[in-house]
Structures are given as structure tokens and as C-alpha cells.
Amino acid sequence: MTGLLVVTAVPAEAEAIRAGLTDPTTTVLPVGVGPAVAAATTARLLVLAEAAGRPYQGVVSAGVAGGFTGRVAVGATVLGSASVAADLGAESPAGFIPVDELGMPADWLGGGTTLAADPGLLARLRAALPAATVGPVLTVSTVTGTAASTDALRRRHPDAVAEAMEGYGVAVAAAQANLPFAELRTVSNPIGPRDRDAWRMREALAALTTAAAALT
């Protein structure tokens, strides 16, 4: 029997999840960094599984993320209530315009720039991870690294709790396959001016191993 497909960006994240996984029907695979390769590779995996007669029952984008200071702590676990294409749009003198406000039909955008997590899958994850922070997770192609860009994101997405690079792409692939989707992240660093010394990757990967037991 095939269960969840859990996709990460890099092998280290996949290894951390496998170390804590308790469900043998869950498949964990790294698919690459960024929304484009994550979407394309996830879609290919879903098509291959369906063609083999072993379709997955749902898709989870998992890995480490940056967290908004004051909303989630470094080392904490985050469940995405939605995955948001935060930098897909246009600049203007008045500020950033999300692409779904530019007059394009929603079906051109894979359902819009905000894709909600599946309610049933999210509820199961919340029950298994009661200490997790729940809120929108932003997907960006360029990781935020200045105070100005951090403040701009905070203003545009006042409820967002974290930032990563693959969730929205994986969500689009899951939506195209009509499969439940959720996003699970652990926080390795605060979002803001780039400071590698402030990153706690080891702690975030350890938290990912602990959270992996929820992926059933």
C-alpha cells in the first residue's frame, strides 16, 4: 500500500525525516531547491506512481524554513495553513502587486497564489503535533536577507509564520493531481538580514526528525 509522498528540497532534510519515520508506507524523497524544480519533480513522481497502479494518498512538502521573529521561534515546528507564492507578481510605484491581482484567470495560476492546506490532512498533523505553530508559509525564489525586504513581507503577509522555497510549487503539483496537500517546516533561522552564524540547522533537522512521526 502507498501512503503519503513527502518531498524535501535536499537530501539532509529527507534523511532527517526518515530517521524519525514510523509509517513504512510513507515515501520521502528530495526533489530540489526552489518552486519550479519542486513542482516539476513532484508532478513526475505522482504521475509515475499513478501509472504503476500505486498512487499516493497525499503530498507533504517538508523541510527547514526561516521563521518570522515574534511569530515562531528558531527550532520550532510549523504547519502551513496555506502555501503562498509570495514573490510571484509585479512591481509598481505603489508597491508589489500579486499576480492574481493582475487580471489573470485563476486557472492560469494553478488556483491562485495562495493554496490552502487540505483541511483533513492539516487536522491530522495538528493533532499529532499540538505544539506546532499554524499559519501561512511563504514560498520565495529569493530568500529574504535584508531588513527592508523582511518588513515588506510582514506588511503584505501579516499572518505568515515562515518562509521557504518549495511549498507552493509542491502544492500546485498536488492540486493538479487532485491530492491532499500540507506543508511541514522546522525553523532554522529568523527571517531578516542574512547572518549564517544565527542559523541553527542542526536543531532544525533534529526537530524535523521528531516531527516525522506525524507523517502517517
Residue, of 139 and 141, whose pLDDT is higher? 139
Torsion of CA 75, 206, 133, 131, to 10 degrees: -110
Q: Which residue has the higher pLDDT, 9 or 141?
A: 9
CATH of 4-214, one of 3.30.420.40, 2.40.50.840, 3.40.50.1580, 3.40.30.10: 3.40.50.1580
Task: For 14-57, write each residue's pLDDT tens digit.
Answer: 999 999 999 999 999 999 999 999 999 999 999 999 999 999 99
**How many angstroms separate the Cα of 161 from the Cα of each of 11, 74, 139, 150, 188?**
24, 11, 11, 12, 13
| pLDDT at residue 1 tops 70 | no
* Residue 119, pLDDT above cutoff 70: yes
Among the ranges given (28-42, 147-161, 166-180), the one the predictor scored with the smallest mean pLDDT: 147-161
